[in-house]
Structure 1
């Protein structure tokens, strides 16, 4: 009987820990410096933006955005340093807690090369 109670207590503890750790994903705003500019996500506005730095030659920031799970739009776009304002895309039509991958490349004219800046994963 003592062994049965111990097994039950351990089982309840494991179940409780699983529930705590399996909380729904929450989206969070971020700002990611990608060397030649910034990629940012505003969770409250459901908007992701690319902003290439101005000055010291021509620059651009390219973002390829795809949903990893769930439903939502996919985009690929560039922001050029000559635009002056960030170039943004809306994620308002994505299902809540869609997991996204943003893969970024940048270019700077003085360097003369395109650089792969990696990927960032986030929830919309």
Structure 2
């Protein structure tokens, strides 16, 4: 009897804990994504999204397209390096006119290196604002 009561209590506690966890709002996330031609970053505390093509070895470009995961208006950010006369990165703010808090976004990246002469797809990452 006591053994069954203990099992029932443990299962009940697990159900309560899982339902509380599922009711929590989505957790915001930061992003730091580095690959051979540059870096993409997002800081949730400032809503700042940056793309940077490395300033070395000739012409480089990095492009990131940000799309709400459920669909909607996408935004594309491209940074060209110092070869094009643009050292540093290119940043935008993902403010409330574009996305609201706890919005899931898919970031898709591609990069270009002049010596390679082609664009390379870098895949996708998901962030939550």
Q: What TM-score bracket applies, with the shorter chain setting the length? A: 0.7 to 0.9
CA deviation after TM superposition for structure 1 residue 113, in Å = 1.3
Contact 2:112–2:119 at 8 Å: present in 1 too?
yes
**Separation in 2, partners of 1:56, 1:16:** 53
Q: Which deviates further from its counterpart, 51-60 or 80-89?
A: 80-89
CA deviation after TM superposition for structure 1 residue 70, in Å = 8.8
| 2:96 is aligned with 1:95 | no
RMSD of aligned alpha carbons: 2.5
| Correspondence for 2:113 among 101, 108, 116 | 108
**1:1-124 correspondence runs (5 A):** 9=9, 10-69=11-70, 74-81=74-81, 82=84, 83-93=86-96, 94-124=99-129
Runs of 4+ in 1 over 6 A off after TM superposition: none
CA deviation after TM superposition for structure 1 residue 6, in Å = 7.1
CA deviation after TM superposition for structure 1 residue 90, in Å = 1.4
Q: How high is the TM-score relative to the length of structure 2?
A: 0.80
| Count, aligned residues | 123
The gaps in structure 1 that reach 5 residues or longer are none
Residue-by-residue CA offset, 1:20-73 (whole Å, 9 max, x unaligned): 3553222122211022000000112101110000121100000110011498x6
The gaps in structure 2 that reach 5 residues or longer are none
**Separation in 2, partners of 1:69, 1:120:** 14
Q: How high is the TM-score relative to the length of structure 1?
A: 0.83
Secondary structure, aligned partner of 1:27: coil
